[in-house]
Amino acid sequence: MITLSAFRWVPPFAQGLVRDLRVRWALEEAGLPYRERLIGAEDQKGADYRGWQPFGQVPAIEDDGLVLFESGAIVLHIAEKSSALLPAEPGARARVRTWLFAALSSIEPHIQNLTEIDLFNADQGWARERRPAVLARAKTRLADLAAALGAKEYLVADRFTAADLLLTTVLRIPRQTNLVAEYPALEALRLRCEARPAFKKALAAQMRPFAENAPPVAA
């Protein structure tokens, strides 16, 4: 059985966004069982976990002796096991892989830059000065993405694939804004994919340990 690393707890602003959600979702879509390896800050620096994930991040997986890290690489590994995530036709498979990389390399960094400003540095002068340019770059990428999607319901092969899964997790990141809603086709894609039973099950699985390990509320 696959073992997946995930955090025991994270602050509310990150709950539902931690990247192990991508892996949980892929495993649910593929119908593959898994168990959790829950970690905390003390584990992230330990040699044992660094043997799994050299940067101390999540997720990482162990699959029959094979240890992998980086959420995109793990999702692709799972997709290659399941026709539910990767079409059989070679050209479609190649296009899915292309969009996997695009979601993580061409879109996510711009959205993440904006989110880090808003969540961690909004009160800083340099952040206020930089934000308009960062927002403009994010909007440009989303506009390009919306144009590429066009009237299609999914990115590749007229069906849900691992490409839509990863892209949806990226589009969920800037929830402190209405940025994605400005592009109706992208918002519709996000909502369509979030309505999938496998997504709902994966999200509930990620949220469960956060509730169980929440720090006590100060009196």
Assess if CATH 1.20.1050.10 describes domain 90-196. Answer: yes
Specify burial of residue 127 (Cβ count, 10 A radius: 0-12, 13-18, 19+): middle
pLDDT at 217: 73
In this structure, are residues 83 and 32 in contact, taking their beta carbons and an 8 Å threshold?
Answer: no
pLDDT in tens, 141-156: 999 999 999 999 999 9
Question: DSSP state, 158?
Answer: T
Alpha-carbon gap, residue 46 to 48, rounded angstroms: 5
Whole-model pTM?
Answer: 0.96
pLDDT at 157: 86
Q: In the chain, where are the structural domains located?
A: 2-83+199-212, 90-196
Q: Which CATH architecture has domain 2-83+199-212?
A: 3-Layer(aba) Sandwich (3.40)
157 to each of 24, 73, 74, 89, 94, how far by Cα in Å? 23, 21, 22, 9, 11
In this structure, are residues 218 and 23 in contact, taking their beta carbons and an 8 Å threshold?
Answer: no
pLDDT at 126: 94
Question: What count of other Cβ atoms lies within 10 Å of the Cβ of residue 159?
Answer: 12
Q: Which residues of the chain have pLDDT under 70?
A: 218-219
